[in-house]
Structure 1
Amino acid sequence: MESFAGEFTAEQTALRESVRDFFASPGFSWARLTGELGLTALAVAEEHGGFGATAVEAGIVLEEAGAALLSAPLLSTTAAILALNPASGLPESPAAGTTTGALDSASGLMESLAAGSAVGALALGDGVEARPTANGIVLDGRAEHVLDGGAADLFLVEAGGDLYATDAAVVQPVPTLDTTRGQATLILTAAPARLVAPAGAAHALAVVRALLAAESVGVARAALQSTVEHLRTRHQFGVPLATFQALRHRVADLYVLLEQATSTARYALRCYGTAEFAAAAPLAKLSAGEAAWTITRESIQLLGGIGFTWEHPAHRYLKRATAGHLLFGDPPTLRRLLLTFVG
């Protein structure tokens, strides 16, 4: 059940197939992901140690990561990279603040993230304040729902609408519904930091919304594929379940929902680096998040008795979709935001 096959180049199609095979192979590790495939370097400019691809290629990878329910900090690290990317139109990092540990300029941070030697995470929200001291800038406050916070060693923290880099946060892992992806709370007490993206927090939020939309498309697609395969092979009254018209109608509705979400998510990533991205990203998050949540819930129903078992992965897809549905703006919040772009 592949959609929009014609919109990709041969190279992008080959990337999708390679990543899909990689996530399905045994012996997966972060070292292989960053070294063998170089997925964290994909959307990084060549002068910063990357391959010079675009946000579209990053989205292709995250669709497959969502389909595989990847349990690795790929989305958070990719989001950190694109939040720092000069191609976003943000100003270059000023020579302000201080460096903590191995932290350097924004370009240096991107090189570390691209190489996989550092795992990045975004800490967004209004719970942190930055203040100048005699030794430079420090951060105080608390950031919640930090994706992959327990695995990260470099944090891009929002304070006053700016993005600061620090590696001095106290990390408190928190239990979540989705056990395939960790979240954490960051506690910052006079944490040394460096200003890396003035007024960059809004862009960072748009980035993570767009990437989460791409991942949600992969989650929805995998759940629907599993459901369709079950309906084709499971027999009732001597015929496949897929021959029953009521079930066919339900699946058709879900497929339309998936196609809408797919086109919206991919369009948002094509808008990366343009003024339209600020509106396209929350729209993609809204469309893909609701599609994934609806499809994974319906999938459990359509799978019948097996859909309610722990052995079947349907519940894992539902949990990933539910978490993604609520993170970085629930539907009412996103709808109110999108209204501000109308007029």
Structure 2
Amino acid sequence: MEIGTAFTGFAGEFTPEQAALRESVRDFFASPGYSWERLTGELGLTALAVAEQHGGFGATAVEAGIVLEEAGAALLCAPLLSTTAAILALEPSCDLLESLAGGASIGTLALGGAVEARPTAQGPVLDGRVHNVLDGAAADVFLVECDGDLYATDAAVVQPVPTLDTTRGQATVILTATPARLAVPAGAAHARAVLQALLAAESVGVARAALQSTVDHLRTRRQFGVPLATFQALRHRVADLYVALEQATSTARYALRVHGTEEFAVAATLAKLAATEAAWTVTRESIQLLGGIGFTWEHSAHRYLKRATANHLLAGDPAALRRALLAYAL
């Protein structure tokens, strides 16, 4: 049995078209030799949530989340999450969308830094820096948070930084009198919620793949003449992880379903907390349940743990997310 098919929560509400999208994307990521050009051209994954008049398919954040779940399961190295986050953070009529949808441009969000905007005769310029920008070295369109607004620039100086997760780059974005333009007034809060929701979706895929690998190992590895999966103590541990994964799955998918509503900010924060906590727990426990092979470089378990750990800390660590949820409740 494949993890996520016995009790699927919101997965049971997928339309036939969404289920077909999931299968085609899963097959695509499982095939060798895929590239950014094929990802954006052949499948058009960056164009999913873009309106048709801007070169997209007119889908929703739900379809984007389906793709990112599969990207997380495959530990995709391409800048799909960062570009999708930039697309969903922009207004539907923004002129940047066409190049982002077609894959000609790679976008990312630069949030949470100390950035100031100054007016000049040629337009606003930005000063400051933003740390831990996803795919910063690959991006050519930066949506920068400043005083609650989002400014767009393609002239930032980028310094790649070493990270635990070597499957996806991060960078420090340096802005020194950098020309920019106001892209989304008062759009920073929404952009942060978008990034949190997409990280949640990806983390669900990371946890699902890690748990599936663990279950497959327990079914085939034998001790005392029987599969490890027959030992009750191990079955209980896997069951607890499965429950955590299903809770995270439902929470993450619900957040994407309410994208565009007043509920989205709270739902995205909760989804990011639940999904990244679950992924971090599942990937850590998976290494233990795999036994000796889980500690080797040859097995993929450590890569899933590193992706889960990075997602756990990006766009708000658990303490910050809990404080934000408390503030929403007051």
Tell me what 1:111 maps to.
Answer: 98
Tell me what 1:96 maps to.
Answer: none
Which residue, out of 264, 268, 284, partners 1:277? 264
Counterpart AA for 1:84? L
Aligned: 1:70 with 2:57: no
2: distance between equivalents of 1:129 and 1:178? 30
Aligned: 1:232 with 2:219: yes
Q: Quote the offset at 1:126 in angstroms.
A: 3.7
Aligned: 1:334 with 2:306: no
Q: Percent identity?
A: 82
Tell me what 2:156 maps to.
Answer: 169
Counterpart AA for 1:178? D
**Aligned-partner SS, 1:107:** coil
Q: TM-score, normalised by structure 2?
A: 0.97
Tell me what 1:121 maps to.
Answer: 108
Which residue, out of 80, 84, 87, partners 2:90? 84
Total equivalences in the alignment: 324
1: distance between equivalents of 2:106 and 2:145? 17
Q: Quote the offset at 1:8 in angstroms.
A: 0.4
**Aligned-partner SS, 1:190:** strand
Any conservation in 2 of the 1:44–1:85 contact (CA below 8 Å)? no
Which residue, out of 20, 29, 54, partners 1:23? 29
Aligned: 1:202 with 2:189: yes
Tell me what 2:40 maps to.
Answer: 34
Tell me what 1:46 maps to.
Answer: 52
Aligned: 1:325 with 2:312: yes
2: distance between equivalents of 1:273 and 1:213? 17
Q: Quote the offset at 1:85 in angstroms.
A: 3.5
CA deviations over 1:279-327 (Å, ceiling 9, x no partner): 0001000000100000000000000000000000000000000000011
Counterpart AA for 1:83? A
2: distance between equivalents of 1:128 and 1:158? 7
Any conservation in 1 of the 2:156–2:175 contact (CA below 8 Å)? yes
Root mean square deviation, CA, Å = 0.8
Q: Quote the offset at 1:48 in angstroms.
A: 1.1
Counterpart AA for 1:37? L
CA deviations over 1:125-149 (Å, ceiling 9, x no partner): 1411111011111001101100000
2: distance between equivalents of 1:193 and 1:337? 30
Instruction: Note the residue ranges of structure 1 that are not aligned, 5 or more in a row.
Output: 87-105
Any conservation in 2 of the 1:129–1:139 contact (CA below 8 Å)? yes
Counterpart AA for 1:77? T
Aligned: 1:130 with 2:140: no
Counterpart AA for 2:66? I
CA deviations over 1:179-206 (Å, ceiling 9, x no partner): 0000000111111101010000000000
2: distance between equivalents of 1:143 and 1:38? 30
1: distance between equivalents of 2:270 and 2:233? 31
Any conservation in 2 of the 1:41–1:49 contact (CA below 8 Å)? yes
CA deviations over 1:78-113 (Å, ceiling 9, x no partner): 000000033xxxxxxxxxxxxxxxxxxx62201110
Tell me what 1:92 maps to.
Answer: none
1: distance between equivalents of 2:41 and 2:172? 29
Q: Find runs of 4+ consecutive structure 1 residues off by over 3 angstroms.
A: none
1: distance between equivalents of 2:36 and 2:91? 22
Any conservation in 1 of the 2:207–2:279 contact (CA below 8 Å)? yes
Q: Quote the offset at 1:7 in angstroms.
A: 1.2
